[in-house]
Structure 1
Amino acid sequence: MDAKFVNPFIDAFMTVMPQIGFQDITRKKVSVKDKSAQSLGVTVLVGFTKQIRGNVAYNMSEETAKYIASTMMMGMPVDEFNDMAQSAISELSNMLTANAATNLATLGYDVDISTPSLSVGHNFVVKISSEQYLAIDMDLSGHRIEINISLQ
């Protein structure tokens, strides 16, 4: 995968997250991984089509997902990862991916994104790519979100 596809996702994260109430955002490490990712508890997969093909998987713990959902819902307590919280996380993945797609369009790529697919659980593996993919660890006020990107 071409490394030029990384910055549109980092920029999207750094643009969208402050708009929904997060201020302490840090990019940690970028690494190359092979084929599949072990779920951290909540994984949202979004596909790309047209000039760029592939997918992005947002991977986080259930605690992180509840923290994000609570912030998105103006601080409403989220004690369980119910339908409302799942909807918030799916919407966040839409916002992040649409922003990244817009960033890719400014680089001259015509792209479409799919509807997000949210999975919950610890004992599953998500196939990200048939080869290697890039993983970006982002820290959101002490909460880890792994952005797994495989685009061609």
Structure 2
Amino acid sequence: MDVKLINPFVDAFLNVMPQLGFQEIKKQNVSLKGKNLKSQGVMLNIGIVGDIKGNVVYCLDIEGAKKIASTMMMGFPVTELDDMAQSAISELSNMLTANASTNFSESGVNINISTPTLIFGNDFEAKMNTDKVICINILVDDIPIEINTAFEKL
């Protein structure tokens, strides 16, 4: 595992989440997964091209997504993952990945990102573009979030 591919995403969480009102951001662990990602409820997929090619997929459960959307909407109660909540969560994934992109550029790695694709529901899988996926587990105000990165070799 190359920390140069992990740290820009962790740093993005540490930078972006407090600006949105989240208090405690903790990196938990890093692991390797196979190419099939099992859903926890919500997946946000962003394509990456440039010096690095692949995808980053943020995974969290639906309750966590609703809590995050609520915080992003200044505490407005979110009881279902409606269009407004989906938009908030999608924008968060965009903000995090754009910040990671800036972090990459500071180390001389140039990338561009796609718009996020949000998928949610029960019992589904996503097949990634590589056989090995680096999974970074983050805890944001006790909400577990996975950052799954699948990059072609540099």
Give yes or no for TM over 0.5: yes
Separation in 2, partners of 1:138, 1:129: 23
Separation in 1, partners of 2:56, 2:94: 11
1:18 aligns with 2:18: yes
- Residue equivalent to 1:88: 88
- Residue equivalent to 1:76: 76
Q: Give the Å deviation of 1:122.
A: 2.0
Tell me if the contact between 2:130 and 2:150 (Cα under 8 Å) persists in the aligned partners.
Answer: no
| TM-superposition CA deviations, 1:24-61 (whole Å, max 9, x none) | 11111110111121010010000001111001000000
1:66 aligns with 2:61: no
Q: Note the 1:1-152 alignment, pairs <5 A.
A: 2-152=2-152
Higher strand share: 1
RMSD: 1.0
Tell me if the contact between 1:56 and 1:128 (Cα under 8 Å) persists in the aligned partners.
Answer: no
Read off the aligned partner of 1:99 and give its amino acid letter: N
Separation in 1, partners of 2:96, 2:67: 17
Q: Give the Å deviation of 1:2.
A: 3.4
Q: Which runs of 4+ in 1 moved over 3 A?
A: none
Tell me if the contact between 1:44 and 1:118 (Cα under 8 Å) persists in the aligned partners.
Answer: yes
Separation in 1, partners of 2:122, 2:3: 29
Structure 2 length-normalised TM: 0.95
Separation in 2, partners of 1:23, 1:150: 29
Give unpaired runs (5+ residues) of structure 2: none
Tell me if the contact between 1:57 and 1:128 (Cα under 8 Å) persists in the aligned partners.
Answer: no
Separation in 2, partners of 1:55, 1:44: 10
Structure 1 length-normalised TM: 0.96
Tell me if the contact between 2:135 and 2:149 (Cα under 8 Å) persists in the aligned partners.
Answer: yes
Question: Percent identity at matched positions?
Answer: 51
Read off the aligned partner of 2:125 and give its amino acid letter: V
Separation in 2, partners of 1:136, 1:106: 21
Separation in 1, partners of 2:45, 2:21: 23
Q: Give the Å deviation of 1:89.
A: 0.3
Read off the aligned partner of 1:21 and give its amino acid letter: G
